[in-house]
Structure 1
Amino acid sequence: MLALVLTVVLVLSGTLPAVLRPVLRRRGVIDVPNARSSHARPAVRGMGLATWIAIVVGMLLALLTGAVRVDRAVTVIVLLLACAAAVLGWAEDFRGVSVRARAGTQLLVGVVGTTALALALGQSGWWIPAGTLAIAVYINVANFMDGINGISGLHGLTVGLFYALAGQLSGQTWLTVSALVLAAAFAAFLPWNLAGGRARGPVFLGDVGSYLLGGMIAAMAAAGFLAGVYVEYLLSPLVIYLADTAFTWVRRVRAGARWYAPHRQHVYQRLTDAGLSHLGSAAVVTACTVAVGLLGFIAAQGTLATSAAAAVAGIAVVAGYLVSPTVITRRRGRAPRPRDVPDGSRS
């Protein structure tokens, strides 16, 4: 049954962009490049609708076919939380949402989702504030990190596979199925994002896609934590995204910049300024994510000494990633392009 579910998700996420692209173009859901943009041609955004539809169909099919038999309520809550985040992202793509309204809605999604998960899993309400903040934060993190082609598709695929393994090791079938659906949906979109733009213009997930990605990952992480899954399993695949966002925020605050203003000073963006292609930068992020994720799984299952060694190695990977733009720039003997400007590319 799971094979059928994943096949449907792959087909839908891989074919729907062809249907949605002309519709979104007619509705004016377009990123128009300017002097501050990272892309050179107008781009259809909002193509995360395809992955959203594929995930909804896949999750419902998993419930209907019995691919998920235990903790079905948790599966439904994860899906609804991801959909709520996607709705907000679509509103941002189509009409625009004020910063205050966006933040308030993200917190509302977080508190309602975490409350529902705590009730479904029989956990204390003391976890609700932490879950609320974690969900709202990661929705934003996924959005902030969605600035170059391929990065979000690879993140969805990578985290999905790690979470599927975590579900298997923890005996949480709902997590395995949900994570594989996420991985399949974002993997099927990658060819459109990476190659589809060569002939007819680039295709971006938009906020609907990045919010969907962040919301579903955060929902699975919160549910997994409340269900007793090792925190190392859940946190390690997210460390690079979290470190990039936190490091960039600290740098901007120390430089006296308006930390809340749009910019493109993330590590992955500085890698493109240092000369890497979008795919090259996304590959660096993904490779580091895989390395830290594997080390997290080793830390969770190893002895005290093994866990400590894995933690030290993970810190080294994160540190290496954070300084990588500076290292590459120095080795190439070139000055980075100074581009403290709003993002213009959405993967």
Structure 2
Amino acid sequence: MTYWYIFPLVALVSLLLTAVLRRYALRRSIIDIPNARSSHTVPTPRGGGVAIVLTYAFSLFVLALLQWVSIAESVALLGAGLLIAVIGFMDDHGHIAARWRLLGHFVAAGWALFWMQGLPPITVFGFSLNLGWFGHLIGAFYLVWMLNLYNFMDGIDGIASLEAICACVGLSLIYFFSGYETLIWSPLLLAMAVAGFLYWNFPPARIFMGDAGSGFLGIVLGGFSIQAAWIGSEFFFAWLIMLGVFVVDATFTLARRLARGDKVYEAHRSHAYQFASRQFGKHLPVTVSIGVINVVWLFPLALCVTLLGLDGSLGLVIAYVPLLLLAVKYNAGMRE
């Protein structure tokens, strides 16, 4: 890759910009104060995820101008991602009613799907599902869920950053091994932008990501997976496998809370990773463990699906069953 030096440069810019945002948050008292629903105990500035947004958006815009990434891809990801980031930034600085946030989320999802030509046919257990316009509707709900689950899972130090890095680096390697080198740029740029922020967010965190960063990551990662589906269903399943820890914990927790009749829009601490962090008494073991799961369990399965011919649906089931057992073990969705 001739222009490899771009990647460390992106990480450096993100690192420095996060430092600037941290000083801004401290000066403006944009601080996350611990309460009964918090997983942290020390007042910590928030909103550092804006560094990820700005660094990635600018670098992707430049690469689009240089025609190293497609215009449609960059317009889809930047349009949707920046809208979600603005909504999250406003919510970090004040409060936006849930219904207006949700409306903005669906507008962003619709924008991304329009430029990506919707949800393509997906092969599930050997059967090709072409859902037409209904598939586009499902795609919108899928993207909205991805950005919200990423927000839900950004609850302890470093977890959302490390998950994004693992997924993006993992799929970049898969694209390289599969001969789709032109698709490496976008996810690897995002990984580097997140890596610069992770320096400040690694346990114990000196700044939090905030809704602007977590929502942005969620919809961009979801957009990557839909883009991958147009290449082949196996690549779509590879993204779902690599994001499995977040998908399983968030979905299982939501299902349990809905079944119990909880108000699911209210803040809580009942995700499996939150119970685990309280059991261990710190965030670091949980964050590192999730990184290990991604590397030694989920990435090899994603490789099997994309390079060795394992059915994507079957690979997804194999990947998720142990994650579901872990969610049950750590009481995901149970009352605190």
What TM-score does the superposition give when structure 1 sets the normalisation length? 0.83
Contact 2:203/2:284 (8 A) holds in 1: no
2:304 is aligned with 1:298 = yes
- State the distance in 1 between where 2:13 and 2:283 align: 25
2:203 is aligned with 1:204 = no
Cα–Cα, structure 1 residues 64 and 39, in superposed 2: closer, same or farther, change >3 Å? Answer: same
Q: What secondary structure sits across from 2:157 in the alignment? A: coil
Matches within 5 A, 1:135-146: 135-146=143-154
Matches within 5 A, 1:145-160: 145-160=153-168
2:280 is aligned with 1:272 = no
Contact 2:150/2:218 (8 A) holds in 1: yes
2:226 is aligned with 1:226 = no
Contact 2:249/2:327 (8 A) holds in 1: yes
Deviates more, 1:140-149 or 1:261-270: 261-270
Cα–Cα, structure 1 residues 303 and 214, in superposed 2: closer, same or farther, change >3 Å? Answer: closer
Question: Residue 333 of structure 1 aligns with which residue?
Answer: none
Question: Residue 243 of structure 2 aligns with which residue?
Answer: 238
Cα–Cα, structure 1 residues 56 and 204, in superposed 2: closer, same or farther, change >3 Å? Answer: same
Question: Residue 334 of structure 1 aligns with which residue?
Answer: none
Q: Unpaired segments of 5 or more residues in structure 1?
A: 327-337, 341-347
Contact 2:118/2:136 (8 A) holds in 1: no
Q: Which amino acid aligns with 1:265?
A: S
What TM-score does the superposition give when structure 2 sets the normalisation length? 0.85
The alpha-carbon deviation at position 195 of structure 1 amounts to 5.7
Deviating runs (4+, > 6 A) in structure 1? 306-309
Contact 1:196/1:203 (8 A) holds in 2: no
Contact 1:160/1:183 (8 A) holds in 2: yes
- State the distance in 1 between where 2:164 and 2:303 align: 18
Note the alpha carbon deviations across 1:275-324, whole angstroms, 9 max, x for none: 252121112223223312321331343356x8798566424422342234
Number of residue-to-residue matches in the alignment:
322
Cα–Cα, structure 1 residues 21 and 315, in superposed 2: closer, same or farther, change >3 Å? Answer: closer
- State the distance in 2 between where 1:308 and 1:30 align: 43
Cα–Cα, structure 1 residues 25 and 292, in superposed 2: closer, same or farther, change >3 Å? Answer: same
CA-based RMSD: 2.8
2:22 is aligned with 1:21 = yes
Question: Residue 140 of structure 2 aligns with which residue?
Answer: 132
Q: Unpaired segments of 5 or more residues in structure 2?
A: 121-129
The alpha-carbon deviation at position 92 of structure 1 amounts to 1.2
Which residue of 188, 200, 213 maps to 2:196?
Answer: 188
Q: Which amino acid aligns with 1:296?
A: A
Cα–Cα, structure 1 residues 169 and 79, in superposed 2: closer, same or farther, change >3 Å? Answer: farther
Question: Residue 322 of structure 2 aligns with which residue?
Answer: 317
Contact 1:166/1:234 (8 A) holds in 2: no
Identity level (%): 28
Cα–Cα, structure 1 residues 63 and 196, in superposed 2: closer, same or farther, change >3 Å? Answer: farther
Contact 1:268/1:285 (8 A) holds in 2: no
Contact 1:44/1:203 (8 A) holds in 2: yes
The alpha-carbon deviation at position 125 of structure 1 amounts to 4.8
